Amino acid sequence: MTLHELQQACAALRDEAPARIAAADSLDAWHELRNTLLGRKSGRLTELMALLPQLAKEERREAGAAVNALKQTLEAAFDARKGELEATASRGPTLDLTMPSRASWRGAVHPVSLVIDEIGDIFRELGFTVALGPEAESPWYNFTALNFPDNHPAMDMHDTLYLKDGGVLRTHTSPVQVRTLQSYAPPVRILAPGNVYRRDFFDATHAPAFAQLEGLAIDEGITFADLKATLAHFARAFYGQRTPTRLVPSYFPFTEPSGQMEVFFDVGDGRGARWIEIMGCGLVHPAVLESAGLDSERYSGWAFGMGPARIAMSRFSITDIRLFYDSDVRFLEQFA
């Protein structure tokens, strides 16, 4: 072996190696090729190195440098190729990333509850907590304590569902007012969500039972102006800050003065924006405070009641209230 022959062998290896390295199309092929060329026992380069001692001493240095340079070149090429192959491997085989995910079932809060929660969030910021009361209620809490005169038409069998053992299914959440005022000393600021019952037959806009949301604020010095401002604040928070609001006269036995809060709003029924009643309200009637044993000269306050189902109907463009009760999963899943 001459220096010249060794140099030729190096050149041949340098010429053929890049194509072969590039042709290694898997990590296995890469390992095999690297072993063939650079393997410590039988690699071609190793074989060339093994020839060095056969050279003349003065040629050995030059030849050694050439072989080492080649080794470095090849190792760099192998490293680069390995990086490419690894990158390809990490992307995996032919995976179609547009295939659907493995989903879990999505649950949903009922649309009427969504509205109750949203209203509740606004009033929570104003210091309100949640109170509850029974749906099977005594006539005293449902009517008498709320200043309904005897023989009020609402107490009629045509409007109220009576229980066999003397109770009624509450016709509104207002009994919670008196129960709460009997249980807790003012200041009282509560929301009372719950189901109420009327002797209404089902149709697209009426149901025999529906959700109501009652609000009550009692303390010394609470005024009708505060009611108006607070409920207008609520209405703007709920319907949008630019929504016009107005408070107009109304009547309920348990409030005096009474009003209804209205917003100028497009409920999406195709009739355009108009004044929509969103709640009945008023200063709590002195007789109601007295029902709970409060001094009506010292304490005052306001109350309101609203129907979340009606709001949910306009918010979600639902035209038949019966959908809220049917519990059709195809309806419910839309609120997930």
Partner 1 sequence: MLISHEWLRGFVPHALSPDALRALITAHVATVDGMERLRADLATIVVARVVRAGRHPNSDHLWVTKVDDGSGTLLDVVCGAPNVTEGALYPFARVGTVMPTGNKGGILIERRKIRGEVSNGMLCSAKELGLGEDHDGILALDVDAAPGTPFLEAVPVGDVCYDIDVLANRPDLLSHYGMAREVAALQGLTVGDPRDVFDVDQATGAVRFGDGVRGRVPSAGGRAVHDMARAASGGATVQLDDADGCPRYMGVVIRGVTVAPSPEWLVRRLAALGLRSISNVVDVTNYMLHGYGQPMHAFDLARLAQQTVVVRRARPGETLVTLDGVARALDERMTVIADAERAVAVAGVMGGKESEVSASTTDVFLEVAYFTPRNVRVTRRALGLSTDASYRFERGIDPAIAPHALSIAAQLITLVAGGAVEGQAIDVGRAPEPRARVAITPRRVERLLGAAVGSDEIQRLLSSVGFTVTSRGDSAETLDVTVPSWRHDVSRDADLVEEVARLRGYDALPDVVLPFRPGTVPDHPLHVAGQRVRDALVGMGLFEVRPLPFVAGNDDTHARVENPLAEDEPHLRLSILETLARRAEYNLSRMQGNVRLFEVGSVFAPRPGQLPVEKVRVGLLVMGARRPAHFTDTSKELFDAWDAKALGERVAELAYPGMRISLEAGDGAPVLWRISANGGEVGTIEKIALDKPVWASDAFGVEITLGRLPSAAVAAPGSHDYSAGVAGRAPAKGHVTYRPLPTTPPAEFDLALLVPDGVSAAQVEQLLRKSGGELLERVELFDEFRGAGVQEGHRSVAWRLTFRDATRTLRDKEVDGRRQKILRTLETELGVRARSA
Site for partner 1 contains 46 (CB under 8 A)? no
* Site track for partner 1 across 168-197, x = CB under 8 A: -x---------xxxxxxxxxxxx----x--
Only one residue has tokens 């001459």, namely 2
Enumerate residues 146-165 that contact partner 1 by CB under 8 A. Answer: 151, 153, 156-158, 161-165
Minimum separation from the CB atom of position 204 to partner 1 (A)? 16
* C-alpha distances in Å from residue 245, one per residue of 92, 241, 260, 285: 61, 10, 10, 24
Backbone angles phi, psi at 215, to 5 degrees: -125, 145
Count of residues binding partner 1 (CB under 8 A)?
Answer: 109
Q: Enter the DSSP assignment of 185.
A: P
Per CB under 8 A, the segment of 26-34, 60-68, 72-80, 129-137 that binds partner 1 is: 129-137
∠ CA 227-232-233, rounded to 5°: 100
Q: Are 215 and 128 in contact (CB under 8 A)?
A: yes
> For the residues of 295-336, what is the DSSP string, one character each?
-TTTEEEEEEEE-HHHHHHHHTT---TTHHHH--HHHHGGG-
Residue from 53, 92, 93, 100 in contact with partner 1 (CB under 8 A): 100
Site for partner 1 contains 330 (CB under 8 A)? yes
Q: Are 335 and 108 in contact (CB under 8 A)?
A: yes
**Between 17 and 235, CB nearer to partner 1:** 235
Enumerate residues 228-267 that contact partner 1 by CB under 8 A. Answer: 228-230, 232-233, 246-251, 256-260
**Between 35 and 183, CB nearer to partner 1:** 183
Residue 244 CA to its chain's centroid (Å):
29
Enumerate residues 272-291 that contact partner 1 by CB under 8 A. Answer: 275, 277, 283, 285-287, 290-291
Residue from 93, 107, 270, 272 in contact with partner 1 (CB under 8 A): 107
Minimum separation from the CB atom of position 62 to partner 1 (A)? 59
Only one residue has tokens 């509104």, namely 172
Site for partner 1 contains 271 (CB under 8 A)? no
Minimum separation from the CB atom of position 87 to partner 1 (A)? 26
* Site track for partner 1 across 196-225, x = CB under 8 A: ---xxx-----xxx-x-----x-x-xxxxx
Q: Are 259 and 282 in contact (CB under 8 A)?
A: yes
Instruction: Tell me if residue 283 falls in helix, strand or coil.
Output: strand
